[in-house]
Chains A and B, each alone.
Chain A
Amino acid sequence: MIKWIAAGVAAAALLASPVLAAEKIKIGFVTTLTTPAAAIGNDMRKAVDLALEHIGGMMGPLEVDLIYGDDEFNPQKGKQRTERLIKQDNVDLVAGYIWSNVLLASAPTVLEAGKILISSNAGPSQLAGKRCNKNFFNVSWQNDQTPMAMGEVLNRRGVKTLYIIAPNYAAGKNMVSGVERTFKGEIVGKDMTTWPTQKDWAAELSKVKAVNPDGVFIFYPGGHGPAFIKQYQQAGLEGRIPLYTVFTIDSISLPRFQQAGMEGVLGTSMTQFWAPDMDNPQNKRFVADFRAKYGSYPSFYAAQSYDTIFLIKSAVEAINGNIDDIDAFRAALEKADFDSVRGKFRFGNNHFPIQNFYERVVVKDSDGNWTTSVRDAVLVDHQDIYAKDCAL
């Protein structure tokens, strides 16, 4: 009889006591997991999964509970998904975001809830300057910086006349203003195309042909990049007018180019803060394990996502898992005390990185795969130009 009572009490105690598991940090990660742009989102997800594997699913004393959200390549959907993460899933922190327009639409939801927001890719000028926020961090770059580096490369190459084609949305405008800021030659033509619907550039390419500039500068991330370069080739411009790109040729599109036998892409130059062959222990481990696990080179989107997880981990460890103390959490994030795959990393006053930008060239690796390789630094310890407008 006593045995039964004892067993009953024990069972009741088991039911009543909270489950004895580690406490959790809930991270929402918003990216694009459907539409053709899902190729980018999946690359980011792979990197986040790899980072979680490398840290054993733990950040200090906290177990990581990561929830992915799909923005469907659409600002409205991204905002809705973000609201669900905040209100329903009750996450501690939101990260991710490929697209500047999605981030701009979603940021108020997170920031008004008093939560930390970390952009793993998008770096719109608005959030770097006047609308900077103490709880917003960016681990990639401000949109203008990479094209500013490209402007320098163009000057060094002696390009005198440039034609610009870019999509007409937040990031596209930043990219154009970036290259215009540093390029010293003459801009002989500029077309801003409807984003993301326009995928046929027949009219724009005909204008390029008529103007015959020294170079063409484009920014077309995701599936638009290969489509543009294919049409550039079909229009007979490849080999006649050099194409200079930012965020258009990456580890996601290169296998497609290689499959399609588009040799013209080899040797093309772009600017970037990172490349798979950068020489530091953190990057070597990241690239080697990513390739071993997924069989492809990681993209820069993946690199930034990997860094995102390590940045959060460094801050959680510094405050010993006490993430409810948001001021301490933020202060720990500001220190950026983690090993970035790009080497040196620190935050500026506006919580955007101050970092180097390099020229990057498309090459064949020892196995014949097309990849990108880092060249000289073009901008050193570079801070974005909007930081001065930020009151932080």
Chain B
Amino acid sequence: MTFALVVEQTLNGVQLGILLFLLAAGLTLVFGIMDFVNLAHGSFYMVGAFFAATFAQWTGNFVAGVALALPATLAVGIVVELVAVRTLYARDHLDHVLATFGLVLFFNELVRLVWGPEGRSIRLPVVLDGSVDLPLGITYSIYRLVIIGAGLMVALGLYILVNRTRIGMLIRAGASNRTMVGALGINIKFLFTIIFGLGAALAGFAGMLVTPVTQAEIGMGEQILIVALVVIVIGGIGSIRGAFIAAIITGLIDTMGRSFLDVLLLTVMSSNAAEAAGPALSSMMIYILMAAVLFFRPQGLFPPRGV
């Protein structure tokens, strides 16, 4: 266990955390402010990935592909809000779950019709497609550094949006007391549409970033949505700051578990047992953390103020 390895795994963990944050940010806003359970959030992650793959192919450039895919995913989010989600606010959570689960199936089938069953990949520009030598003898994938950088910039942008702008003030107010915001004459419907679209675009952006590493495929959103739900529960529902910190913690725990848990287990048990227990335990660790948070601090680590 060298120092370089620890640094590298920390970078890996932060990179995973950044992706989780992009997904969790929208989810936590929609859940916290609109009190709306959106299982279809992962579908925007998938749609964003497919848009980026197609646009990148058309333009021959990954960055241009993302630049086009972002507004497209935002538009999909707004349309979904106007057509489907808007009619559901007055209903209870079970109806939200049923309806958005239906949306998940709808989007999976739609993507299958439009793009076919086999998924799409994105070819990175040569500059990004390789590794770079960092100090301390660390070699790291350039593109993963780009993911970290892009994610941090988005996080900063969100911070400014939420804390320094009028719309952000409304979002914060909405997270603390939704009814009061409406009572003060704010067009809450418009605010909801904006938040929903923004959340969709953020999830789509995460999908766009991950596609050059893996590939765009049907159902890619469902698996990561579960982890994103864990993140918002840990961070406190409705809190962007909580989502960010919890996402980074979750990313780090998952990566560190995969990296070092089997080595640690080897010191207390036989190698066969450690080999079997290592992967099982490391994939459980984030859920154990969530259970602990729910037990000791049910409102999450950083709940929005005024709740």
Contacts and interface: CB of A to CB of B under 8 A. Distances in A.
Contacts of B59: none
A235 B279 CA distance: 22
A344 interface: no
Interface stretch (A8-16, A198-206, A269-277, A288-296): A198-206
Nearest to A256: B121
B259 A203 contact: yes
Contacts of B123: 259-260
B9 A234 contact: no
B108 to A, nearest CB: 9
A226 B258 CA distance: 22
Interface string A79-102: 000000000000000000000000
Contact of B139 (A168, A193, A204, A235): A235
B92 interface: no
A312 B258 CA distance: 45
A72 to B, nearest CB: 9
| Most chain A CB neighbours (cut-off 10 Å) among B5, B112, B141, B255 | B141
A223 interface: yes
Interface stretch (B70-78, B169-177, B198-206, B217-225): B217-225
B12 interface: yes
B118 A39 contact: yes
Contacts, number: 101
B117 interface: yes
A54 interface: no
B219 A210 contact: no
A209 B139 contact: yes
B35 interface: no
Contacts of B5: 206-207, 209-210
B250 interface: no
B9 A36 contact: no
B214 interface: yes
Question: How many residues of B sit at the interface, in one of the four size bands?
Answer: 35 or more
A230 B124 CA distance: 10
Interface in A171-228: 190-194, 197, 199-200, 202-204, 206-207, 209-210, 223, 226-227
Contacts of B8: 206, 209-210
A353 B140 CA distance: 45
Contacts of A191: 258, 262, 279
Contacts of B259: 203, 206-207
Nearest to A193: B279
A33 B2 CA distance: 45
Most chain-B Cβ atoms within 10 A of its Cβ — which of A191, A203, A204, A235?
Answer: A203
A223 B214 CA distance: 9
A197 B219 CA distance: 10
Given A191-B258, A199-B214, A202-B144, A226 B121 contact: yes
Contacts of A320: none
A68 B259 CA distance: 41
B120 to A, nearest CB: 9
B290 to A, nearest CB: 18
Interface in B252-267: 255, 258-259, 262
Given A33-B117, A194-B283, A235 B12 contact: no
B213 interface: yes
B129 interface: yes
A39 B1 CA distance: 40
Interface in B220-274: 223, 255, 258-259, 262
B28 interface: no
Contacts of B165: none
A61 interface: no
B119 to A, nearest CB: 4
A200 B275 contact: no
A36 B131 contact: no
Contact of A233 (B9, B129, B210, B217): B129
B275 to A, nearest CB: 6
Contacts of B12: 202-203, 206
A231 interface: yes
Contacts of A194: 279, 283
B143 A234 contact: yes
A155 interface: no
A48 B218 CA distance: 26
A76 interface: no
B215 A227 contact: yes
B218 A34 contact: yes
A321 B61 CA distance: 58
A236 B131 contact: yes
Contacts of A234: 124, 129-131, 141-144, 213
Contacts of B258: 191, 203-204
Contacts of A280: none
A38 B118 contact: yes
A369 interface: no
B4 interface: yes
Given A207-B5, A234-B141, A202 B118 contact: no
A93 to B, nearest CB: 26
A218 to B, nearest CB: 15
Interface string B121-136: 1011000011100000
B249 to A, nearest CB: 16
Contacts of A223: 118-119, 215, 217
15 contacts: A34-B117, A35-B117, A36-B215, A38-B118, A191-B258, A191-B279, A197-B223, A206-B259, A207-B259, A226-B121, A230-B121, A230-B213, A234-B143, A236-B139, A236-B141
